[in-house]
Structure 1
């Protein structure tokens, strides 16, 4: 099976190790991974700010680049959701290229859980291990738009796909949060327009993870972790962050 890898611009610039871990993970599962080198931003920052005229050509360019591929995989729930749930305004109804990209763009975790239905994880022929206390941050886009798990304001029960994948990793000790689906406060340009509110929400989220006894906060959205990691570093809070792809690929906790 061949897949095209979409790496969001913030991962490319700030967290290339997450992109590399995603590539290694997909290849370890026997996939033929293609990286279209012309790819750029999905346009989400412009859309969040209301600059739809600026976002439109970026969205059209994205579809033009990725439409030749059968499946597109992205290690970011927010960018995946941008393509799936917010591109419609930029395309005519019946646009076949757009409909194909919309229907075949997946968040990494939903692709592994729903499409590949993986049942085991190995690295160098051995089961993947991560012997640490872990807490899971579930992003708003992942929960409320991609439905990667249940959220407290909706009574519909859903499988927790990120947790289900991490349960394949040996040695994880789960730490339970008091508020399992609360926003981190990032919200893209919200953090720029409302920095004090954003930082306050982030501190609350970090405090919940720390109180659970967690060593490492894990998420499928590095954008959330980028916001939280900034607060953690500045305030020297005793917890680390990792993207789920890094753990699934067998990466150790950074020293």
Structure 2
């Protein structure tokens, strides 16, 4: 696991965009995209590079991390709609190459199995972007999730529902259930990129990076991954005991070694 500490959220966004751009320019790529506040700056930077630098997403394929149960894809707060408005519709990515879970599927277990099979049939995910919740969740794998879990239905904690209430107007309107890629599914991506900014994520980042490997902090599963990059600003790095070492290692990173 590599920990990259940047001075500002804009520098975090640029670093993450560099990773995605490298994958896109290398040829047809499959991206795993997350919603939420953490990756927004990276999406804005990628949109800028598309318009200003000609970054071409036309051959890319996208799979989403999760979806609310009960919301149609057309709902403004469905993650399918959110990722379209925040990113896909603002670059040249073919909407037919955007894949999400159907939160209104009649058989949710079958929908989850279909989704895992679709990711496998696409050759797996090359770069998976991840945010992190204040309780250490990634995707919607809440504390207590199996570290080898597959895509499935999960019940949101009340804290997660409260965290998302601002998007809906009221916590009463936030669904109680989601379909989410499991930690085992996420771990099959070739490169995991976890993004966090702000002091509110500092405890979760410290637990994920330097705490024990435990289902109590689902993001700690990144410690097992062969290629995981954690990109944070100074505020989100505020509780890291080895922050000075991470900065030192980054300064002395070999020029040939990529993130």
**For the superposition of Structure 1 and Structure 2, which TM-score range results when normalised by the shorter chain?**
0.3 to 0.5
Structure (1 or 2) with the greater helix fraction:
1
Q: TM-score, normalised by structure 1?
A: 0.33
| TM-score (norm. length: structure 2) | 0.33
